Amino acid sequence: MMKMLVVDDDPAWRALYRMGFEGDFEVFEAVDGLDALAALDRVRPEVIVLDLKMPHLDGMGFLRQIERRGLRVPVIVCSGAIAMDSLPAIPSVFPAQKSPDLRNVWSALEAALPRPSEKDSSTKPRRAIEETLWRG
């Protein structure tokens, strides 16, 4: 199962992402950019879901740090704090509007991650985007 690192200071958003993705990913959590940097070597995620507005080290600072380290992990940036078109042009960054409706995040994940080959039967097919609507 692929590993996902969710980086968000809000426990409600981390819980929502965990509920939405834990059937398809092994989900790990970090509360800010510093916590996420510390988790990178331990977790070795295949994808990162990142908030931008956080204390200690915000999302933009985290992106700069992983770029300096030369890491090429796809990062799904979910934020309501800034306009998504103002994100840096880093090839592995995929914007998704932050919303309880996780279809935007699933679309970004589909764009970011390679499709499993038909011959690879060990990879579980990804859940349909329509199944990820948050129903409160």
CATH of the domain at 91: 3.40.50.2300
Query: 4: pLDDT confidence band, cut at 50, 70 and 90?
Result: very high
Distance CA 114, CA 8 (A): 24
Q: Which pLDDT score, from 0 to 100, does residue 116 have?
A: 63
Say yes or no to pLDDT of 31 above 90.
yes
Distance CA 3, CA 48 (A): 9
Closest CA to 47 of 128, 111, 129: 111
Q: Which pLDDT score, from 0 to 100, does residue 135 have?
A: 45
Q: Lowest mean pLDDT of 20-24, 63-67, 83-87, name the range.
A: 83-87
Closest CA to 8 of 41, 45, 53: 53
Domain around 59: 2-132
- Token readout for 74 is 């796809």
Q: pLDDT digits over 79-123, tens only?
A: 765 555 555 556 688 988 888 999 999 999 999 998 765 444 444
Number of independent structural domains in the chain: 1
- Token readout for 98 is 């932050």
3-state secondary structure at position 106: helix
Concatenated DSSP letters for 28-71? EEESSHHHHHHHHHHH--SEEEE-S--SSS-HHHHHHHHHHTT-
